[in-house]
Chains A and B, each alone.
Chain A
Amino acid sequence: DVKVTQSSRYLVKRTGEKVFLECVQDMDHENMFWYRQDPGLGLRLIYFSYDVKMKEKGDIPEGYSVSREKKERFSLILESASTNQTSMYLCASSPVGAIGGTQYFGPGTRLLVL
């Protein structure tokens, strides 16, 4: 089974702090994604990466950056956390060439910024 893990299930940070969210997948997938999930808004794509050191902006990249130094790991960085970044963050991965490009999700990190 594909396994996507995220470093924390719950995180509490202060406004202005630098925040790192880590995601690791164990199935050698080329593509990795970061979403944020908010009630009534569904999932919105922040960034994705289709290869090591490659990244593309999603729909809501402002206030976020990402890093992918190794194929299995994709990090989401909040340079200076703000209260409006309080949300659930979901990581996903998918292999190139998979039928339909099915994505496999991690358990999520619920971030509270005070």
Chain B
Amino acid sequence: AQTVTQSQPEMSVQEAETVTLSCTYDTSESDYYLFWYKQPPSRQMILVIRQEAYKQQNATENRFSVNFQKAAKSFSLKISDSQLGDAAMYFCAYRNSGAGSYQLTFGKGTKLSVIP
């Protein structure tokens, strides 16, 4: 079974600075998807960024980028120019790519605080 580990339960960053959230995973599959989801306080969980394992290029979405190291099974999220609205729980998630593979496996989350 796949596992996802987020080793930082809590982190903080100064507004306008850069922060990196860590995620490692364990799988025997060669093709899969990785996600970062954001859950603001009392608000809905939303997708931040997605990475296909067969793509070597790291995904980016505006101020959010990932460092995907397939051999190391590492998938970290970098938030640049942090804003107050970035304060949230961040979850790393994994999904097999095969047909019929619907399940996401989530890490335990990292609570990010942004200091004004």
Chain A: residues with CB nearer than 8 A to chain B?
A: 4, 31, 33, 40-45, 48, 50, 58, 90, 92, 94, 99-103, 105-108
Contacts and interface: CB of A to CB of B under 8 A. Distances in A.
Given A42-B91, A107-B43, A107-B44, A102 B35 contact: yes
Given A31-B102, A90-B45, A101-B104, 10 more contacts: A41-B108, A43-B104, A43-B106, A45-B103, A50-B102, A92-B45, A99-B50, A100-B50, A101-B95, A108-B44
Nearest to B52: A100
18 contacts: A40-B9, A41-B108, A42-B91, A42-B106, A42-B108, A42-B109, A50-B102, A90-B45, A100-B33, A100-B52, A101-B95, A101-B102, A101-B104, A102-B35, A103-B47, A105-B37, A107-B44, A108-B44
A58 B1 CA distance: 12
A103 B46 contact: no
Q: When A and B form their complex, which 8 residue pairs have the shortest distance between CB atoms, in order from nearest?
A: A42-B108, A100-B33, A105-B45, A43-B106, A42-B106, A100-B50, A107-B44, A31-B102
Given A43-B91, A101-B95, A107-B43, A58 B108 contact: no
B101 interface: yes
Interface residues of B, number: 23
